């Protein structure tokens, strides 16, 4: 399918990770020029080198998009690099040691980092990007939510679920505001995706999660990338304010109180 986005420019925050790179490759395969953002400058540069080896046009613009000045700089550098900005994918977000704690054990630091890196960063980058979007009646914003919101959350990720729920609400309101300009705003809510984020799961946990899913496996990063690319295409002009689940149809996993699947 020709998505009619050849020559467009996309900024992908947190773009050096597995999910970000999958979206980058899907867009680049349609002729989109890429701006890869990551908090770690070396990761951003390495990701761009890999994309270059694959024949894609990309530059690295590292920076902490959870901070206002840095988010503004990242967006302005992205727009300036190719003389335009057409697509924003708000993919950045922290995890790791900040997850896996019940509400009474979530520190102020972890709450702030999770909310800021997911929800605040989405707001800051969107606000900064909007003046660049909508020229000639086209613009796309894609936000990454999660089944940890759509499925009601699970023990140990209350702050993460709150951030992803906030992203869903932000998406729907932004879509109503920006739709008249031809800028669509949509959110993708993945289930468990085969990335580094689940690398610490035990064989038992992996078996339990996949056996509960109607499709019987984890989501592939490329499947999320393909969905993101489609939403950026001209065939998706009328899709606006949507929260699209890509989870195999399973959102209500059974969880132990420590947050592990059972």
Active site residue 230: no
Order of strands, edge to edge, in the sheet holding 139-144?
58-60, 33-36, 9-12, 87-90, 139-144, 183-190, 243-246
Residue recorded with tokens 């800021």: 116
State the CB neighbour count (10 A cutoff) for residue 26: 22
Q: What angle do CA 251, 169, 89 make, to 5 degrees?
A: 85
Q: What is the DSSP letter of 198?
A: G
Contact present, 224 and 192 (Cβ < 8 Å) = no
How far apart, in whole angstroms, are the C-alpha atoms of residue 170 and residue 133? 17
| CA distance to 68, 98, 145, per residue, from 52 (Å) | 30, 33, 29
How far apart, in whole angstroms, are the C-alpha atoms of residue 218 and residue 104? 30
How far apart, in whole angstroms, are the C-alpha atoms of residue 246 and residue 231? 13
Tell me which of 138, 160, 192, 230 is the catalytic residue: 160
- The burial class, CB within 10 Å (0-12 / 13-18 / 19+), for 66 is buried
Residue recorded with tokens 């969905």: 227
- The catalytic residue positions are 160
């Amino acid at each position: 399918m020709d998505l009619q986005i050849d020559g467009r420019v996309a900024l992908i925050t947190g773009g050096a990770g597995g999910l970000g790179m999958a979206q980058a490759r899907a867009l680049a395969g349609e002729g989109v020029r890429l701006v890869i953002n990551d908090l770690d400058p070396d990761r951003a540069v390495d990701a761009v080198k890999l994309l270059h080896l694959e024949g894609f046009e990309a530059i690295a613009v590292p920076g902490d998009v959870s901070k206002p000045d840095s988010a503004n700089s990242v967006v302005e550098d992205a727009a300036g690099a190719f003389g335009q900005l057409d697509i924003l994918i708000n993919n950045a977000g922290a995890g790791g040691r900040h997850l896996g704690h019940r509400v009474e054990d979530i520190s102020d630091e972890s709450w702030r980092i999770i909310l800021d890196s997911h929800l605040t960063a989405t707001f800051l980058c969107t606000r900064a990007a909007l003046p660049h979007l909508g020229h000639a009646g086209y613009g796309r914003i894609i936000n990454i939510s999660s089944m940890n919101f759509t499925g009601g959350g699970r023990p140990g990720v209350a702050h993460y679920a709150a951030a992803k729920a906030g992203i869903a609400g932000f998406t729907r309101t932004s879509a109503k505001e920006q739709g008249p300009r031809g800028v669509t705003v949509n959110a993708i809510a993945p289930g468990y995706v085969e990335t580094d984020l689940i690398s610490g799961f035990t064989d038992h946990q992996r078996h339990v999660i996949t056996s509960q899913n109607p499709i019987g496996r984890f989501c592939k990063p490329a499947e999320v990338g393909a969905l993101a690319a489609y939403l950026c295409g001209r065939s998706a002009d009328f899709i606006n304010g949507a929260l699209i689940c890509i989870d195999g149809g399973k959102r209500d996993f059974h969880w132990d109180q420590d947050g592990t699947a059972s």
